[in-house]
Amino acid sequence: MRWYTDYGRWGTCRNALGAGKWGVCDKDFAEDYTLYFRASRYDGDTGDWVSPESSLQHSGT
């Protein structure tokens, strides 16, 4: 997943544990701002993000 905030932060979150294993991304975001995110696929063998990504989504007020 790629994420962006409306106050200038951005980053990625991916599961490096392998297929069928749950990973957790623990990020600390400011309250009362909007978080935008895209579902993405990552190829761990090549280190590349794979297209296509999902549409930009948002969560917040």
Enclosing domain of residue 45: 1-12+32-60
Is 22 inside a domain boundary? Answer: no
Q: What is the pLDDT of residues 2-40, one digit of tens each?
A: 899 999 999 988 888 888 999 888 889 999 999 998 888
Is 21 inside a domain boundary? Answer: no
Is 24 inside a domain boundary? Answer: no
Is 18 inside a domain boundary? Answer: no
Domain count, the chain: 1
Is 37 inside a domain boundary? Answer: yes
CA distance 2 to 52: 13
Which pTM does this prediction carry? Answer: 0.68
